[in-house]
Amino acid sequence: MLYLTVSHIVPFLVVLAYLSYSLLVPVAADRWCVDNPKDITFRRLGTKTPYRHVQNKDVRNIATVDGCTVGKIWGLFRHGTRNPSKSIIDHMRGTLVELQRDILENGRLCRNQLELFERWKPRITIAEAKLLVREGGDELYQLGARFRKRFGQSLPTHYDADEFRFKFTKTERAEYSARNFTRGLFGRNEQIQYPEALRRDPVLRFYKGCEKWKRQIKENPYSYREMDRFGSSKEMKTVIEKLSKRIGTFVSPEEVHAIYQTCAFETAWDEREISPWCLLFDKESIATMEYSEDLKYYWIDGYGYALTYQQACSAFSDLFLSFNNAASPRFTFYFTHSGTLLKSIAFLNLYKDNEPLSAQHYRYKRKWRVSHIDAFGSNLYFVLYNCSNGTQTIALYHQERLTHIPGCPEDTLLCNYDYFGQLYTDRIAQCDLTTMCSEPHVPSLQKDEL
């Protein structure tokens, strides 16, 4: 979704005046050429990064670790690659078609790259907005197949409703992600039982029912201040200037965002094809666009405001209920969305930087990079291991990789389950979404409430 706030207007006029002068200067005879466009965009496409860029291909058996065997598994899985939202499709079918003409008439690109623009056409219609694409189905199918290889000794060969719980949100992309995952896990002949999908699922999509978060954070222009400030930075001005010269006409910040999003989606859709829109970027430009994405999601879905991630207690209450109740299915798999994954990551204190991300921190090395932590198909799952000495340990896997659990001892990737439980005792006990998300009659959150 594109947000246009008052803070966009002045920076936009400054950029317009700057570029009006810049574009009057004769361009160099050299044309912009990209030798390896896949290298430029690799792992730099924000939340639209394809899962193949972050997946773990190592399928060594992990059903037994340090002499402990799998007791239970609980996990969150983001849906696979999808189509864009209606607003981006509108840009693809309108704005980008106009820019395509400008590129073919005035663009400063190499001949072979101009040929890609000559052949480009918008691939989808508004009616196909946000639907799972073939690549997205394959991402989850392969994920399920690798899951079987890693945990095969612990997973029943066939589906058993007493052993497995699969659930998805009330969206096409989540449903078919779940169905493709189970095909990879069991094969194509199993009849899986799915509970009724809920539009406002308190576990899978808790934030949809949190009006306080929606109004005071997501819809609050103040929450986008760092992204807006970065939008008027010299780095972003440079991106706009470069693209304007390569295209042959001035492009606005909104158009640059649409180009970046189209580059990302078309890259995610098919690894064999190159989106011509990616050819307009160099490494520095694509990294700049990526940071703008990081700022947006940090403040809306991450660490920016405590309420954002506190509400994820609802999902983790379900984890403890599952692990502590012997009657619960051993294997729980939830298929959900970016908003759930990012808030859950922040709830766990994963990828937390020492200082809040801001417009001025672009050159700093950061942990919060949504291209890495929230690509299409991203996953976050816990494995409860039963050990021979009667104790239980818990392991966290993110993007299929064993990951240290914040708060657990630094010298081990497996954490004593009782110790792990103590880390969250208070937050789980106080997890009341009705109270947490009720909107009081007070002003919106301010900076000193971060």
pLDDT above 70 coverage of the chain, percent: 91
For residue 105, what are its two tokens? 């008439």
Residue 138 and residue 180 in contact, taking contact as beta carbons nearer than 8 Å: yes
Mutual angle of helices 234-247 and 95-106, in 10-degree steps:
60
What is the tally of structural domains in the chain?
Answer: 1
**Containing domain of residue 287, as a range?**
46-436
* CA distances (Å), origin 443, targets 4, 213, 216, 269, 440: 22, 13, 8, 43, 9
Amino acid 38: pLDDT: 86
- d(CA 367, CA 348) in angstroms, rounded, equals 14
- Could you tell me how many helices (H) and strands (E) the chain has, helices first? 18, 8
What CATH number did the domain enclosing 82 receive? 3.40.50.1240
Render pLDDT for 44-92 as a digit per residue (tens, 0 to 9).
Answer: 999 999 999 999 999 999 999 999 999 999 999 999 999 999 999 999 9
114 located within any domain: yes
* Residue 31 counted as domain residue: no
Give the number of C-alpha atoms closer than 13 A to the C-alpha of residue 6, restricted to the C-beta side.
Answer: 3
385 pairs with which residues across the strands? 70, 393
| 193/187 Cα distance (integer angstroms) | 15
Contact, 80 vs 137, CB < 8 A?
yes
Q: Is-contact 362 236, C-beta < 8 A?
A: no
Q: Which of 25-34, 106-115, 175-184, 432-441 has the lowest mean pLDDT?
A: 25-34
3-state secondary structure of 41: helix
Q: What percent of the chain has pLDDT over 90?
A: 86
pLDDT at res. 439: 77
Position 440 scores a pLDDT of: 64
In a domain, 14, yes or no: no
pLDDT per position as a tens digit, 3-12: 444 344 434 4
Token pair, residue 446, equals 């301010």
pTM above 0.85, yes or no: yes
What is the reported pLDDT for 190?
Answer: 92
Tell me, what's the pLDDT at 445?
A: 53
The pLDDT value recorded for residue 335 is 98
| 1 falls within a domain | no
Q: Within a domain: residue 217?
A: yes
pLDDT digits (tens, 9 = 90+) for 351-399: 999 999 999 999 999 999 999 999 999 999 999 999 999 999 999 999 9
End-to-end CA distance of the chain: 24
Instruction: Look at residue 7 in the predicted model and tell me its pLDDT.
Output: 43
